[in-house]
Structures are given as structure tokens and as C-alpha cells.
Amino acid sequence: MNIKYIFFFICLLSTVKGFAQDSIPPGALQDSLTLAIDIFAEENPAEITLIYNMKEFRRMINTDKYQSAELIYHLGDSISDRHHTVRIAARGKNRREVCSFPPIWINIRKSGIQNRQLRDTKKIKLVTHCSNSRSNETYVLKEFLAYRIYNLISPYSFRVRLVRMKYIDTGRKYKEMESWAFLIEPETMLAERLDMLPIKNDFISIKQTDSLWTDHMSIFQFMIGNGDYSVTGRHNVKLLRYNDFSKSSIIPVPYDFDYAGIVDAHYAIPGDNLGISSVKERYFLGPCRELQDYEEVIGEIAAMKKGIYDIVNSFIYLSEGQRKSMIAYLDAFFKYSNDPRYIERHILSTCR
């Protein structure tokens, strides 16, 4: 692969010694300025600084307007930090309404960033804390793990990179704030990696999608307690099809898991049409199949149980109590999921 293809993100997501070391175990941050590294496969957190006027950003929170910001990515003690002028805007319909600090679009177009891998990418998603409290950082970390779990279950999934962010507010005498966040692999990069094409059709039914990977997605969403998605209308789901048009399958790729029960965000409220009182209650939204079909899919995911638990238990940036809470929530699924009566009562009873 041409090294220019990955230059920007290698730099962007490289890490530096000495940034927020009080909150990160020694050795967790390492310089990843190695051109052979797949940046979204890198385990260690990146370090990024955004400098912008936060008051102006909040004033424009309910618009799609961008404002200028300076993005700094840190390369290490012996290498100068790299600066680029980017544009940022708030994103996320629900979180823009309930969060004082919503997720961010980072628009890299005309930023002077030279990276052929991102030649079709105009903007990148940064998932941030909702507001300034420790619990909101926990939500970010739990949602990050939901993506990592789905990476294990399906190759048709967005990769994510954990980031230790520093925000500097130019409107308040350059006041600084640090928090956890993560970057989501751009859709164009995902499609290129899988040799597929994005579909922008809002009228595709879940019954038109590939049955195997739709079922895996649906059971995963049920497992983590997420009822905030829909294939029709592409709500928190992207659709991909193969470049090879002889393959007609449409693959759903889910994202945005902050409303999942496993995250248990204080602002997450289940949809009125689900008839449940808490997002921690599981509700199945997948298509109707034969009992045997779902037994097979659940069996495949159950075979990954140890790997799923390892993802959670080895994640040092959550407290032991928070990790145990996530495991307990998953346990409630795995304990009964191999029981045909459970599948009939909780999955086939609400399938569509």
C-alpha cells in the first residue's frame, strides 16, 4: 500500500508520552508512528487536541453549520505536533437535544491534509461525552466496547479508535478540558476495505437484506439491549452492497449504541412503540425467521462468549465495577438464549 494512503490517520491517531498520565496507566500510550500499522487495529488510545470557541459551538448546536477549529495531533517527544485547520459541527439528532456537549463532525475538506486513503472522505465522526460528568465518560467507553464486540461478531462493522481528547476553549481564555472520545471509521473507508459500495436508499426493507448478517446484527442489538435502530430509513444503520453486482446481497452495518441497555445512559429513553419502560429491557426488532434459524445464530454468538467477555474484562479504562456491570448484563442474555422457549417468548414474539 502506498504510504501516502495512511499518512494522515497515522499521524492523527499517534500517541504522545505525558498527556493525561494521571488517568491512564503507564505504558498505555505509545507512539504509533509506524507506517505499516493499521490505525483502527491499534489498541492504544490516540491523543488529539481541538481548539475552538465552545460558546459559538453551543450556539450553533441545532444547526448544521460548521465553525473553524484547530486540530492538533501529537506525534511524540522528538517530533513536532502537527496542526491543521478543520471545520467542526454538532451531529446526532437525539444527542444534540439532550447533551451540552454533543458528538462532533470533523470536516477535513480543504484542511491541507494529504491522504489518498481519505480522498473520498469529507468528514469524520468523533463520539464525545454528553456533558461534563464522570458518568458521561463512562457512557463513551461502554459504547466504544459495543463497537468492539460487534467487530468480533461481524466483519461488516465499523472499526473505532479510542481517543484521549483535550479541548481548548478560545472563548474562555483558552481554558482546557480533557475527556474520553472515539473516532468511527468513515463509511467510505469501510466500504473500500470491504470492496463494497454504500447504498443511500431509505426505502429498503429489512427483508431485502442479507439474511445471515441481518440476523447476526439483530441478535447483537438484542444482546446489548438496543432498540434504537431501523433498516428502513437507515436509522443508525448503514447499507452496503458488493462491487460485484452478481452478488445481490445488501448488508446492514449498525452504529450509534448509546441508547443500548448495556450502556445505560441516563438520557436514553425507549421508543414509545416498544412498550417497555427502560432501555435495559431487551426488545427484539429483527425479522421473523424459523426457530432453528435463530438457534443457529445465537449458538454462533454464544461460541464467541469468551472473546466478548475478554473484550470487556481487559478494558482498563473502565472501573472493575463498570466492567462487572456490563458482564452481568450480557450474562442475562447468554443464560437463557439457548432455551427455545426463551427465543419464542422474547424474540419470535416481537419479530417483524
- Residue 120 included in any domain: yes
For residues 339 and 206, membership in a common domain is answered with: yes
For residues 44 and 164, membership in a common domain is answered with: yes
For residues 180 and 287, membership in a common domain is answered with: no
- Residue 317 included in any domain: yes
The parent domain of residue 39 ranges over: 3-189
In angstroms, the CA 332 to CA 222 distance is 11
For residues 35 and 183, membership in a common domain is answered with: yes
- Residue 352 included in any domain: no
Residue-level pLDDT, tens digit, the chain, 352 residues: 444 434 444 444 443 333 344 444 443 433 332 333 446 777 889 899 999 999 999 999 988 899 999 998 776 554 445 677 899 999 988 888 888 899 999 997 765 555 444 455 688 999 999 988 888 899 999 999 999 999 999 999 999 999 999 999 999 999 999 999 999 999 998 999 999 999 998 889 998 999 999 999 999 999 999 999 999 889 999 999 999 877 778 999 999 999 999 999 999 999 888 999 999 999 999 999 999 999 999 999 999 999 999 999 999 999 999 999 999 999 999 999 889 999 999 999 999 8
State which of 151, 167, 189 marks the end of a domain.
Answer: 189
For residues 157 and 296, membership in a common domain is answered with: no
For residues 13 and 105, membership in a common domain is answered with: yes
Q: What are the C-alpha distances in Å from 150 to residues 155, 158, 168, 253, 321?
A: 8, 8, 33, 10, 22
For residues 146 and 164, membership in a common domain is answered with: yes
Tell me the β-bridge partners of 86.
69
State which of 165, 189, 213 marks the end of a domain.
Answer: 189
For residues 21 and 71, membership in a common domain is answered with: yes
For residues 121 and 172, membership in a common domain is answered with: yes
- Residue 132 included in any domain: yes
State which of 129, 162, 189 marks the end of a domain.
Answer: 189
CA dihedral of residues 31, 36, 39, 42 (deg, nearest 10): -60
Helix (H, G, I), strand (E, B) or coil at 51: strand
For residues 216 and 295, membership in a common domain is answered with: yes
For residues 37 and 164, membership in a common domain is answered with: yes
In angstroms, the CA 52 to CA 67 distance is 8
